[in-house]
């Protein structure tokens, strides 16, 4: 009985994987399986936390070296699309100046991802908004008005 259930679960997972590959493309599927830049960053210069309209919550962490983002990471309690978008947004942030980071939008995250299902586009906007919140926190700390 156990082998039958295991076989069914493997077939189901394989079908889900193939459907995800077809809808998101291979690069986003790989990021879905193994999101890069995921995790809490200790001693971050900036931290943002945003809950999207879908109910997913994302956190972004930024560490600057001089005038550029040296490290970025994220966490999310959301779906796979939130993890993929958070991963790409964090990757896109690394190496950015403050001005470049300010210009990082949900549209730019979507462009980097390629073709993802329209119902998941909001995840890219959540990732960008969370990145902006982390930047705002960093800038507030620099002028001494952080409210944690």
Q: Is residue 7 part of a domain?
A: no
The conformation of residue 97, written as its DSSP 8-state character, comes to B
* pLDDT of 142 strictly over 90: no
54-88 per-position pLDDT tens digit: 999 999 999 999 889 999 999 999 989 999 999 99
Q: Is residue 27 part of a domain?
A: no
CA distance 136 to 46: 7
| CATH code, domain with 134 | 3.90.1010.10
* pLDDT of 148 strictly over 60: no
Q: How many domains does the chain have?
A: 1
Residue 85: CB atoms within 10 A of its CB come to: 35
Find the helix or strand (DSSP H, E) in which 69 lies: strand 68-76
Q: Is residue 71 part of a domain?
A: yes
CA distance 10 to 89: 31
Which residue range is the domain that position 96 belongs to?
34-142
Residue count of the chain, please give it. Answer: 148
> Please, are residues 130 and 74 in contact by the beta-carbon 8 Å criterion?
yes
The conformation of residue 63, written as its DSSP 8-state character, comes to E
Enumerate the H helices of 25-120 as residue ranges: 26-33, 80-93, 98-102, 106-113
Q: Is residue 9 part of a domain?
A: no
Q: Is residue 86 part of a domain?
A: yes
Q: 47 pairs with which residues across the strands?
A: 61
* pLDDT of 114 strictly over 90: no
127-137 per-position pLDDT tens digit: 999 999 999 99
CA distance 90 to 19: 25
Q: Is residue 12 part of a domain?
A: no
Q: Is residue 39 part of a domain?
A: yes
29-38 per-position pLDDT tens digit: 999 899 999 9
Q: What's the average model confidence in pLDDT over 14-19?
A: 91
Q: 72 pairs with which residues across the strands?
A: 62
79-109 per-position pLDDT tens digit: 899 999 999 999 999 999 999 999 999 999 9
Q: Is residue 29 part of a domain?
A: no
């Amino acid at each position: 009985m156990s082998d039958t259930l295991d076989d069914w679960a493997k077939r189901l997972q394989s079908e889900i994987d193939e459907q995800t590959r077809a809808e998101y493309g291979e690069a986003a599927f790989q990021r879905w399986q193994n999101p890069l830049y995921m995790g809490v960053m200790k001693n971050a210069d900036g931290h943002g936390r945003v809950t999207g309209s879908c109910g997913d919550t994302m956190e972004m962490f930024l560490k600057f070296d001089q005038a550029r983002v040296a490290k970025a990471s994220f966490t999310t309690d959301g779906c796979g699309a939130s993890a993929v978008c958070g991963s790409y947004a964090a990757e896109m942030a690394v190496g950015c100046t403050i001005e470049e980071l300010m210009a990082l939008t949900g549209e730019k995250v979507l462009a980097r991802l390629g073709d993802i299902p329209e119902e998941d586009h909001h995840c890219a906007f959540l990732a960008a908004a969370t990145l902006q919140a982390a930047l705002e926190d960093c800038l507030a700390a620099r002028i001494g008005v952080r409210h944690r």
